């Protein structure tokens, strides 16, 4: 009860103003609440596309009766389709697309809702995967990581074939998670952890499905480039272990593919020759993500791709995104070179070569 000048008054003085003026940090662009918002936005985008209607995505009978389709996929010969036929890519739907549709049917969801949920899963898995890789490698600030992940899932390539052939696009969503597991494997210090993460990377490859062997093989490329840009002998151990595990994890579709190849004629020589499919894979379309040839030839079933390929301001938008990305790789605007620049440039070069290697122009 001492007065203002007494000893007790000194003890009761308020804390210093410096402590009161401290402002809390603004919420991060990658906070949990904002991540939920990003997922909700991508999911909403899929449900606003032709609501109530089924799109001819990949296999119509997969949407109509998934469990019967999967049962037929276990046999090479299908007596019900096209007056009897050798199955074409059906085995690749056994995981994960087929069971997803089957579980949706068991839940008695409308067919179009199951289809949109599959698209939403694909977009969100790709978005969160790229975001996880960017955070793991410390690429940019949180807002830039979100922008990069959004650019990955909203690229013209994704928007072109999402509704028409999502099975071919599914490996694109799985690829970042394969890379993330490889990154974790390269950073391990014990043999046990190395084996574990290499096995996880192989299982991630197996989760890319087996509908399109070329698309599935492409998910391996970023991981290989990453390991080749490391130093030391551990990278070779990771390459060998991951390679062996991947071969084992994909036998469920590679063996049937080899068997089918003994009976199925080379029908692609008649419907999708290299001269046609690679005629649009020049340098600029490859970088812009507008290299899918079908969208140029079939605007009816690929309306989004047709718009992205032919609308001037959309082409300029895509070019702006590419320019920003290439500027970042070149180090423009940065005070120092990022430690993973060599890996990132290697991925761009590898992707450009693989997509455009058959270009006939």
Q: What is the pLDDT along the chain (361 residues), one digit of tens a residue?
A: 454 444 444 445 555 544 455 556 677 999 999 999 999 999 999 999 999 999 888 888 898 999 999 999 999 999 988 888 888 889 999 999 999 999 999 999 999 999 999 999 999 999 999 999 999 999 999 999 999 999 999 999 999 999 989 999 999 999 999 999 999 999 999 999 999 999 999 999 999 999 999 999 999 999 999 999 999 889 999 999 999 999 999 999 999 999 998 998 888 888 888 888 999 999 999 999 999 999 998 888 899 999 999 999 999 999 999 999 999 888 877 767 889 999 999 999 999 999 999 998 8
Note the helical H segments in 207-282: 213-218, 221-228, 234-249, 251-261, 268-271, 274-277
Reading the block at residue 337, the tokens are 């070179």
Running DSSP on this structure, what letter comes out for residue 212?
A: -
Please count the other Cβ atoms lying within 10 Å of the Cβ belonging to residue 209. Answer: 25
CB 9 within 8 A of CB 2: yes
CB 175 within 8 A of CB 222: yes
Q: What is the rounded distance in angstroms from the CA atom of residue 189 to the CA atom of residue 63?
A: 46
Looking at the DSSP assignment, which residues form a beta bridge with residue 77?
86
3-class secondary structure, 305:
helix
Q: Which residue carries 């036929």 as its tokens?
A: 85
Closest of 188, 285, 200 to residue 230, by C-alpha: 188
Reading the block at residue 222, the tokens are 């970023």
Running DSSP on this structure, what letter comes out for residue 333?
A: T
Q: What is the rounded distance in angstroms from the CA atom of residue 63 to the CA atom of residue 111?
A: 6
Looking at the DSSP assignment, which residues form a beta bridge with residue 85?
78
pLDDT at 23: 59
CA-only gyration radius of the chain, Å:
25
CB 301 within 8 A of CB 164: yes
CB 53 within 8 A of CB 112: yes
Q: What is the rounded distance in angstroms from the CA atom of residue 57 to the CA atom of residue 64?
A: 12
Phi, psi of 291 (to 5 degrees): -95, 0
């Amino acid at each position: 009860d001492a007065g203002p000048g007494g000893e007790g008054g000194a003890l009761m003085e308020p804390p210093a103003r410096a402590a009161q003026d401290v402002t809390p940090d603004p919420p991060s662009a990658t906070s949990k609440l904002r991540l939920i918002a990003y997922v909700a936005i991508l999911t909403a985008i899929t449900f606003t596309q032709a609501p109530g209607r089924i799109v001819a995505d990949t296999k119509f009978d997969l949407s109509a009766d998934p469990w019967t389709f999967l049962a037929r996929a276990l046999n090479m010969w299908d007596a019900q389709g096209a007056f009897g036929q050798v199955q074409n890519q059906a085995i690749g739907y056994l995981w994960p697309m087929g069971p997803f549709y089957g579980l949706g049917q068991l839940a008695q969801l409308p067919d179009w809702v199951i289809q949109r949920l599959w698209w939403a899963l694909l977009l969100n898995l790709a978005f969160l995967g790229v975001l996880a890789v960017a955070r793991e490698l410390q690429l940019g600030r949180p807002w830039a990581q979100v922008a990069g992940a959004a650019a990955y899932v909203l690229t013209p390539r994704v928007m072109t074939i999402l509704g028409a052939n999502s099975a071919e696009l599914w490996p694109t969503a799985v690829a970042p998670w394969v890379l993330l597991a490889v990154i974790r494997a390269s950073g391990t210090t014990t043999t046990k952890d190395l084996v574990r993460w290499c096995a996880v990377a192989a299982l991630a490859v197996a989760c890319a499905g087996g509908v399109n062997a070329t698309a599935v093989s492409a998910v391996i490329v970023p991981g290989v480039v990453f390991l080749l840009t490391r130093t030391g002998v551990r990278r070779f151990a990771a390459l060998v272990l991951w390679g062996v595990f991947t071969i084992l994890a994909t036998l469920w579709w590679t063996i049937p593919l080899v068997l089918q190849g003994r009976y199925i004629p080379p029908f692609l020589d008649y419907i999708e020759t290299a001269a046609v499919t690679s005629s649009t894979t020049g340098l600029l379309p490859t970088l812009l993500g507008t290299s899918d040839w079908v969208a140029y030839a079939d605007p009816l079933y690929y309306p989004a791709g047709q718009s992205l390929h032919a609308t001037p301001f959309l082409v300029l938008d895509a070019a702006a995104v590419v320019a920003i990305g290439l500027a970042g790789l070149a180090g423009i605007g940065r005070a120092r070179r990022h430690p993973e620049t060599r890996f990132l440039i290697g991925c761009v070069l590898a992707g450009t070569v693989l997509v455009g290697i058959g270009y006939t122009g």
